[in-house]
Every structure is written in structure tokens, then in C-alpha cells.
Amino acid sequence: MQSLKLAVIAAIAIGFGGSAQADLKPSSGFGKPITQAELSAWDIDISTSDGVGLPSGSGTVAQGAKIFAEKCATCHGEGAKGGTQFGQMFGGLDSMTTPKRKLNPSSMFPYAPILFDYTKRAMPMDAPQSLTNNEVYALSGYIYSLSGLVPKNATIDAKYLSNMKMPNRNGFISDDRPDAKAVRCLSKCN
Ligand code: HEC
């Protein structure tokens, strides 16, 4: 009985597989080729170590301060001093080599474009991916300026972020404990 049930399930699965494959044939008349514009709305990946993939656009620290007050301060507090959802988001640049590390984009991130990538993708948490590229550049400049990594009168763009030397750039060390060997493998790994 059990094996009959399994056989029926397998037959149904094969049936579905078959019809799904048929739907993929171009002759079905369904669907249309994706355009470059549609694709780029999804393709927001940035290579954070060199900034490749950062979009065009720019924003100033002053604009960032204004946007932050409007769209971020409810959760992050006025001036990113800490709010209902998250603690202070600046300072502590010298803390990373002490037992009391203060983790935030300025103290922790090895590469400046990580802040752009994260903010564009995930913030504001209640409306992710609602910010324009210019707004994200402005916000990145503002957040880094609070730690003194960017001057208050700066205009931030792809080149600016890619060229920033972050204080914790060389602070990451590989885990060389013998029981934690994580060998990178992309094919034929077993
Ligand atoms: C509705 C609440 C909310 C709003 C609004 C919001 N955030 Fe956040 N944000 C969070 C939470 C919660 C986290 C922590 C997420 C986690 O740890 O996974 C976070 C984390 C972050 C971080 C990571 C900080 C770090 O040190 O790793 C950044 C940067 C950030 N938010 C930027 C922004 C910016 C810029 C805005 C405004 C455009 C914004 N957030 C608006 C809730 C919010």
C-alpha cells in the first residue's frame, strides 16, 4: 500500500515536471524577454572591496542629515545617537582592538561601499529599497561624517566611496583554528 502511494506521488510529480517543462518552450507564446531597465532594478549587487557596481549619482553630507532626520531617526535616534531599534551608529574607531568593541559602519566596515550596499538594500527597515541612489550617497556621507571619516562639506559619489580608506581595513583576521578550516570550494567539493 505504502509503495502504491509512493508510486502515485511519483507519477504526479513526473506529470507536473513534464508540464512545467512544456511551459518553458518559447513557442508557448507566454512571457517576454526582460529589458535591461527591468534587470537593473533587481541587479543592485556591489563589489564592496573596489566599488564596482556602485551606481551613478551623488549626495552631500548636508542632504544626508536632512534625509536621516526624516527617514531614519525614528528608529536610529536623532543624529544616529541611538533610538528605539538600534544603538549609536558612529564613533569607537579605536575600540576594535579592545575587548569593548563598538560596532558600527565607521568602526567596523573594511570598505566604505558596504554602507551604500546595505542601506540601499535593507533600509529604512519599514520601507526597504525605497531610497534613490542620490539619497543613499547622501546618507552614507552623513553617517561616515559623524565619525569624522568624511568632512561636513563633502559630496559623495561612487569614486569617493571607493577611494575611502576605512580604519578597520586590515582588522579582519582569518580563523586559523585547526577545527575551523573553511576551505573555499566552488565545484566538485566532495
Ligand atoms: C523601522 C525602523 C528602522 C528605520 C526607519 C531605519 N532603520 Fe536602520 N536599522 C534598523 C534595525 C532594526 C537595524 C538592525 C538590523 C539588524 O541588525 O539586522 C538597522 C540597522 C541599520 C544599519 C546597520 C548598522 C550597523 O552598524 O551594522 C544601518 C547602516 C542603517 N540601519 C541605516 C539606516 C538608514 C540610513 C535609515 C534611513 C534611511 C534607516 N536605517 C532607517 C531599523 C530601522
CATH number of the domain within which 129 lies: 1.10.760.10
Residue 176 inside a domain? The answer is: no
CA 140 to chain centre: 13
For atom 20 of ligand 1, the residue with the nearest CA is 86
Residue 156 lies in a domain: yes
For residue 120, is it within any domain? yes
41 falls within a domain:
no
Confidence of residue 120 (pLDDT cuts 50, 70, 90): very high
102-105: list long-range contacts, CB under 8 Å, 24+ apart. Answer: 104/147, 105/143, 105/144
Q: Is the CB of 89 under 6 A from ligand 1?
A: yes
Structural domain includes residue 36: no
> Is 42 a member of any domain?
no
Q: Is residue 107 part of a domain?
A: yes
Ligand 1 touching residue 38 (CB < 6 A): no
Q: How far apart are CA 101 and CA 115, in angstroms?
A: 19
Number of domains in the chain: 1
**pLDDT tens-place string over residues 19-71:** 444 445 556 778 888 888 888 888 888 998 999 999 999 999 999 999 999 99
- Confirm whether 171 is domain-assigned: no
30-34, 121-125, 168-172: least confident range: 30-34
State the pLDDT at residue 27.
Answer: 67
Which domain does 71 fall in, by range?
Answer: 58-163
